[in-house]
Amino acid sequence: MLLHRLLNPLFFKLRSRIRWSRSGYRIVHPGVSISYTGEVRNRFNQLCTAYPTVQTWAREMDEALFRRNVLVLDWLDQFGRRVGEIHRPGSWLDIGSKNFDYAYAFRAIQAAGGDAHASLSGVELDGYRVYRDGYSRYDHAMYHAARTESTYMVDDVLEAKLLSARTVTLLFPFVFAEPLLLWGLSPGAYRPQDIYDRALALTESGGELRIANQGEREAAESYALLQRCCKCSDELEIIEVGKLICQVETYPADVYGFIVRKK
């Protein structure tokens, strides 16, 4: 960890200054042929019925992108069913969007709520990490943003000028320092309480912040962070969604969800 603490700030600063980007990223071989069976098929059909745009994904995506969005949509659907609102119209902001390849899942939920052209935005601190294909996260994200009619910004959410949204999502935020360092971020980026506070500040009145955490330990720390947020405001209600189980695709860790409603 000491080496990460010493070198990460240098490499992050270098990436941020170079801002590597090149044009031309696209899905090379779109078209997916996946046959689900049994209960898995039933769950997938349920998602297709609830979110009709899913039915177009198979011909527009490659297999990895398709599976990724089905996975995220399944989680988000479980959030919605927990509070009795699977269709979620209105503006949407995702914090820590990486390459924003799951933007299709967000847009599917908005579209199912009759709001296919509502604002959809993603913000990512480390957007210029370069993948093996020679394209940066930014290149990938701009491709997905164009296809989902959304926006993507490389910036620090604590400093960026962002519009508030009806739904704000934090999918796997860094609540402990070690994972953050292993992902190449600077120690100074470890400010979980500030990020949770900022996410709630960006949530509109009457809106929701939805958080997904990996493992029981991270979920417990996430809940503690939310409780500290709520001590400073009587306008917040924490709802423990519990364990999110994707019946269609697999994920290597247990995932737990929280919803914070803002009055």
**The CATH number of the domain where 160 resides is what?**
3.40.50.150
Q: What is the pLDDT of residue 231?
A: 86
Q: What is the pLDDT of residue 88?
A: 82
What the block records as the tokens of 235 is: 């306008």
**b vs e for 123-147, b when ≥16 Cβ sit within 10 Å of the residue's Cβ?**
bbbbbbbbeeeebbbbbbbbbbbee
The amino acid that residue 161 corresponds to is K
pLDDT in tens, 158-213: 999 999 999 999 999 999 999 999 999 999 999 999 999 999 999 999 999 999 99
Q: Are 57 and 92 in contact (CB under 8 A)?
A: no
Q: Is residue 28 part of a domain?
A: no
**E runs forming strands in 68-182:** 92-95, 120-124, 151-154, 165-171
Q: Is residue 29 part of a domain?
A: no
The amino acid that residue 66 corresponds to is F
The single residue listed with the structure tokens 């997938």 is 44
Q: What is the pLDDT of residue 173?
A: 99
What the block records as the tokens of 217 is: 């330990």
Q: What is the pLDDT of residue 172?
A: 98
Work out how many domains the chain is built from and give that number: 1
pTM higher than 0.85? yes
Q: What is the pLDDT of residue 255?
A: 98
The domain in which residue 239 lies consists of 2-22+34-262
Q: Is residue 136 part of a domain?
A: yes
Q: What is the pLDDT of residue 86?
A: 81
Q: Is residue 27 part of a domain?
A: no
Which residue ranges in the chain fall short of pLDDT 70? none
